[in-house]
Structure 1
Amino acid sequence: MTDTYGENYFLIGPYFPEKAKLDFRPIRELDDSPLSNAIRHIRDLGFEIHFGYWLLEEARPKVILINPVISMEALNAAKTILWKHHGISTLENNALLDQVIGFGEVTRLFLTKLIEEINIDQDVIAHYHEWMSATSLPELTCRQIRLATVFTTHATLLGRYLAPNEPDYFSKIRAFDWAQKAREYGIEAQVKIERTVAKYANVLVTNSASTASECEAFLGRHPDSIVHSGIHRKPGVGHEVFEKHLQNREKIDAFVKALFSPSYQLKIEKTLYFFTSGRYEFRNKGFDVTLQAIARLNAELVRRKSDIHVVLFVISKQPFYHVKPDVLEARQRFQELQRICKMISARLGPRIYANVTGSAGHKLPDLNQLVDDELQMTWRQALSNFKRDSLPPITTHHLTGQDEVLDFCQQAGLNNKEDDRVKVIYHPDFIERATSLFSMDYLEFVRGCHLGIFPSLYEPWGYASMETVLHGTPVVTSDVSGFGRFVKQAAGMEGNNEVKVVKRREQSGEDAIVQLTEIFTEFVEDFENQQYIPRATLPKSVLDSLCWSELQKRYEENYKLALVRYQPVAGLY
């Protein structure tokens, strides 16, 4: 986008100080441009707005960040407009909805002032992603602000709520009464906002055929375009993918050793790393069937007396107090043990060399005689500090409340006992290099694992599964996932060892668990037989279709359509 639009491309989002510390670099001095004048105007009105750069890996787009918490007077004025002009009541006490409305009101004021400042012959396009960003769109349209609008919904609110709670959801989509269900699930205001935004947008876009059906049923409008998610660059191929896997697996090995070795030994060379990740929606993201299947896999491997172990990582953001001290302590002690081993090795090396080249000749020396009392004491003390009697923890963090993942593990007896063949590590936070317990970022972690598991019950696209397989790790997805359907239909890859598709559209949860257990079992058997898990590779045609360099063309088509619809009589486009 920055390559295409240069200085005329800006991002607008909410300002959260803790997040801004990591990714945002402010621009302190404002110039005399229309954008700077609009920012000054918003500040003069008493709202908090920031301007700067978003520090991405390969780009520095300019970004405007708005504090979504506004005064009660301004918030009530915005709610009054929603009610009077659009029939949307927002009287209930909902802090998140208040922030959504606050963000939308300041965005509306900012865009209105910006367009006043710029030349009348300058086109302006506002592309909104998801309903939470878009409460300004209907009012801007009603006030005939000189602005072409695009609204992309990556999922529908009702879809998220109904899919895990309504039997036979996919076959009944068109039969649901959207208003009744919105009231039933307590999201009437949110759904009405989403419908109103979809109604007023010049162009409606979504990311898959599944979400397009939901748009028709719940938003009352068929999307103008389907543009799925993509990647910013093609991953490496062949030996590069495998080398990165080996490098990153070593880091995961170190973490697992630090966590488990104090309690008992785990043969890393006979251990597979599975992971599941995503937004914490226990049923929608398929965490429930994944854990059920992994528990059955554990029972089967124990019954077979298999010497293969599986470590399942569950990565999902949940509220927590802090990282568990024993996890940090285990990592620190493991690193100390490594340091001492290197020190002993450094001291022994010259002694062994001197012994072999000395009077003893080529006779193998007695290593015990080469280790002095100081080295022996250092080693024994380090080993004593490293060992512990308790079991390795399931979760790496102290959670603030009850949690369905932990509850299931306790009920199923998945508590990381030595006799279990499946171990569970629940990491309730994002994986980022700066704060990660793994000393790596998320994509490095993905590359280091053997299998990604995403058997979602509701997944409009499925970015995590796409990202995983594109970086060389085989995946399990589902036939309700947009990416799962893409793989099955467009890519023709169903049934291979790189992408497995669990049937969830017409199959019961129990049948999905059985199928998933079979996939896990076959995966372990392949590893037992080959002692090797091939990396995933996609055909070039598939890779090309998933790159933003190709998808960018679709964006340009939608922007042109938005301008045509905004100014249909101008005949300019």
Structure 2
Amino acid sequence: MAKGMLFPDYILESSWEVCNKVGGIYTVLSSRAKTLQDIIRDRIVFIGPDCWTHEIVCPYFREDESLFAEWRLLARDEGIHVRIGRWDIPGQPIAVLVDFKPYFEIKNTIYTKLWEDFQVDSLHAYGDYDEASMFSYATGKVVESFYHHVIGKGKRVVYHGNEWMTGLGLLYIRKHVPEIGTIFTTHATSIGRSIAGNNKPLYDYLYAYNGDQMAGELNMQSKHSIEKQTAKHVDCFTTVSDITANECRELLDKPVDFVLPNGFDNAFVPRGTAFVKKRNTARKRLLEVANALTGSDFGDETLIVSTSGRYEFRNKGIDVFIEAMHRLNNDSALKKNVVAFIEVPGWSGVARQDLVERLNSGLRYDTPLNNPVVTHWLHDPARDNVQNMLNYLWMRNDKNSRVKVIFIPCYLTGSDGVLNLPYYDVVLGNDLCIYPSYYEPWGYTPLESIAFKVPSITTDLAGFGLWANHIKGSYSEIEDGVKVIHRTDYNYQEVAEQIKDTLIAYSAFTEEQVKVARDHADKLSKKALWSKFIGYYEQAYDMALRKASEREE
């Protein structure tokens, strides 16, 4: 940390994804926690939603009633109901889960005050706006109570909220506890994501879009409003990449104060023989599933590739991934058989029983199962984008197809019924991972991929892709560990062709060339460790604390 910079005595940080694994922010917070724990042990406190029941226990949270027991009782007397324990991640930080449901009874009063104090428009709320706002308000009450009863005046404290879902609480603290420095990080603007998700060209017209106007057109007024006003009123407004910083300036009319790139903690990447064993286990299982589903006999020389992440068909580039696999299947230059997995959670049910029976039998089959492209039955296959595109391109995993595409439409938690391996134990079994994103503020999936020594393909519309180019000083190639493809609003066809060409080239790599690419991937990932990136956060903490200090004076 630079000399003279202020650093907090306490960091209180909230997100809908604290102890709640639903997206990339979970990875941001959970991988950064240990670095902060090493600096201010047990004075970093994460606050998340208590959306669990006695029947469904949170698998990421270990309750400890001895932690802040006296405060918990005081908070209860104030109408704040929390469970306190530890987030079961590296560093084991303290986590507070807050029950936000009681605040629905006074929702209209809360929204009225929000309008009067900060001109946030909650009239157009729908979907998850109410739920997120009540959680955010409850978190604000938690921070206020914790500050007064546990921390006390005279300490340097920051409250850091992630995404628009924490905006209401940040504004509450800004008004009611001005001694606390506030930091807001938007990981993707709600309106930018919506523009991209509605198949509108985002980048060529970014300078011309009016955020308020687009929010009205796309029925996003309330989410856009809370995000815009939070950005305006917090002490320090941040985002995760230069790409999203441009969005904030154009769509929220507020430039960010700092860009805080997402780092990674590689403590759970296995080493040495453990790594080799896990990689072999993953490859064996992936090929067993492919063979049982399609009636093939793929061996270990098969090229295993995948894409994964949230099921945003266009934004995450799932469409262009399928198009690239279709072209690859029709190109005679391909040197190896390819099994391509699409690992995104869709609207799916249980694992296919016919597939499970084949896997359990241990026998080899030379005939495919019915619809040999999915591992779990889809509830509404006629409306599923992946299934429809595979059907449209007639990608049915025919016997003669050198490229088989397999859709695993569920979360890889280790108990999916087919692979039965957690995601990180699956990703290291790949030869290449492919993430041709159209809208990707940062891009954790390619960073995770290279941390497990798996070279990846991404685009320069992902923050991570831009960072990889910055490290190299030019466009990064697959030999460097990451292939970064130039992507625009309109060059879908060229992106698909470049993915195909990269896979053909990689399929012809010698063992030594593969080793070099894997080593470069590993080395690049180490440049993105939190120990390197935490310095960006130190700047944000310093700014927020200085502004809070000025208010007190």
The alpha-carbon deviation at position 550 of structure 1 amounts to 2.1
* Alignment CA distance shift 1:272-1:568 (3 Å): same
The alpha-carbon deviation at position 389 of structure 1 amounts to 6.1
Distance 2:201 2:290 in 1: 42
> Does structure 1 residue 80 correspond to structure 2 residue 112?
yes
Alignment of 1:318-467 (within 5 A): 318-334=346-362, 390-391=369-370, 393-401=372-380, 402-435=383-416, 437-467=418-448
TM-score by length of 2: 0.85
Pairing partner for 2:337 from 304, 309, 321:
309
Deviates further, 540-549 or 218-227: 540-549
Distance 2:141 2:195 in 1: 35
Q: Deviations over 1:224-245 (max 9, x none)?
A: 11121111137879xx679835
Distance 2:224 2:293 in 1: 51
Q: Residues 241 and 472 of structure 1 are in contact (CA less than 8 Å); yes or no, is this contact kept in structure 2?
A: no
**Alignment partner, residue 545 of structure 2:** 563
Distance 1:525 1:409 in 2: 26
TM-score by length of 1: 0.82
* Alignment CA distance shift 1:539-1:389 (3 Å): closer
Pairing partner for 2:468 from 457, 481, 487:
487
* Alignment CA distance shift 1:246-1:502 (3 Å): farther
* Alignment CA distance shift 1:397-1:44 (3 Å): farther
**Alignment partner, residue 187 of structure 1:** 220
**Alignment partner, residue 43 of structure 2:** 8
Q: Residues 310 and 423 of structure 1 are in contact (CA less than 8 Å); yes or no, is this contact kept in structure 2?
A: yes
Q: Residues 469 and 475 of structure 1 are in contact (CA less than 8 Å); yes or no, is this contact kept in structure 2?
A: yes
Letter in 2 for 1:268: G
Q: Deviations over 1:433-463 (max 9, x none)?
A: 3546324322221111001001100111111
Q: Deviations over 1:393-421 (max 9, x none)?
A: 31222223321011111111112221111
> Does structure 1 residue 298 correspond to structure 2 residue 279?
no
**Alignment partner, residue 366 of structure 1:** none
**Alignment partner, residue 281 of structure 1:** 312
* Alignment CA distance shift 1:420-1:321 (3 Å): same
Q: Residues 285 and 458 of structure 1 are in contact (CA less than 8 Å); yes or no, is this contact kept in structure 2?
A: yes
Q: Residues 68 and 100 of structure 1 are in contact (CA less than 8 Å); yes or no, is this contact kept in structure 2?
A: no
**Alignment partner, residue 232 of structure 2:** 199
> Does structure 1 residue 514 correspond to structure 2 residue 507?
no
**Alignment partner, residue 232 of structure 1:** 265
Distance 2:276 2:116 in 1: 57
**Alignment partner, residue 268 of structure 1:** 299
> Does structure 1 residue 499 correspond to structure 2 residue 482?
yes
**Alignment partner, residue 209 of structure 1:** 242
> Does structure 1 residue 60 correspond to structure 2 residue 92?
yes
* Alignment CA distance shift 1:330-1:219 (3 Å): same
Pairing partner for 1:94 from 120, 126, 143:
126
Distance 2:52 2:385 in 1: 30
Q: Deviations over 1:306-329 (max 9, x none)?
A: 673211111112232222222322
* Alignment CA distance shift 1:241-1:480 (3 Å): farther
Distance 1:263 1:179 in 2: 50
SS at match of 1:11: strand
Deviates further, 443-452 or 551-560: 551-560
Distance 1:309 1:539 in 2: 23
Q: Residues 453 and 522 of structure 2 are in contact (CA less than 8 Å); yes or no, is this contact kept in structure 1?
A: no
**Alignment partner, residue 523 of structure 1:** 506
Q: Deviations over 1:206-228 (max 9, x none)?
A: 11111111111122222111121
SS at match of 2:406: strand
The alpha-carbon deviation at position 511 of structure 1 amounts to 2.0
Letter in 1 for 2:395: L
Distance 1:144 1:267 in 2: 62
> Does structure 1 residue 159 correspond to structure 2 residue 140?
no
Letter in 2 for 1:14: P
After superposition, the CA RMSD in angstroms is: 2.9
Q: Residues 245 and 449 of structure 1 are in contact (CA less than 8 Å); yes or no, is this contact kept in structure 2?
A: no
SS at match of 1:169: coil
Q: Deviations over 1:249-271 (max 9, x none)?
A: 44332343255247633231341
Letter in 1 for 2:503: F
* Alignment CA distance shift 1:553-1:149 (3 Å): same
Letter in 2 for 1:399: L
* Alignment CA distance shift 1:108-1:296 (3 Å): same
Distance 1:258 1:286 in 2: 24
**Alignment partner, residue 32 of structure 2:** none
Letter in 2 for 1:512: V
Gaps of 5+ in 2: 1-35
Distance 1:560 1:221 in 2: 20
Gaps of 5+ in 1: 338-382
Q: Percent identity?
A: 25
* Alignment CA distance shift 1:540-1:435 (3 Å): closer
Q: Residues 259 and 330 of structure 1 are in contact (CA less than 8 Å); yes or no, is this contact kept in structure 2?
A: no
> Does structure 1 residue 473 correspond to structure 2 residue 454?
yes
The alpha-carbon deviation at position 183 of structure 1 amounts to 0.7
**Alignment partner, residue 341 of structure 1:** none
* Alignment CA distance shift 1:133-1:436 (3 Å): farther
Deviates further, 196-205 or 314-323: 314-323
* Alignment CA distance shift 1:166-1:262 (3 Å): closer
Alignment of 1:71-150 (within 5 A): 71-92=103-124, 94-117=126-149, 118-150=151-183
Distance 2:438 2:429 in 1: 26
* Alignment CA distance shift 1:31-1:242 (3 Å): closer
Distance 1:411 1:540 in 2: 38
* Alignment CA distance shift 1:264-1:30 (3 Å): closer
Q: Residues 311 and 422 of structure 1 are in contact (CA less than 8 Å); yes or no, is this contact kept in structure 2?
A: yes
Q: Deviations over 1:500-537 (max 9, x none)?
A: 1221136521222222222222223437x989675523
Q: Residues 255 and 331 of structure 1 are in contact (CA less than 8 Å); yes or no, is this contact kept in structure 2?
A: no
* Alignment CA distance shift 1:426-1:70 (3 Å): farther
Q: Residues 470 and 537 of structure 1 are in contact (CA less than 8 Å); yes or no, is this contact kept in structure 2?
A: no
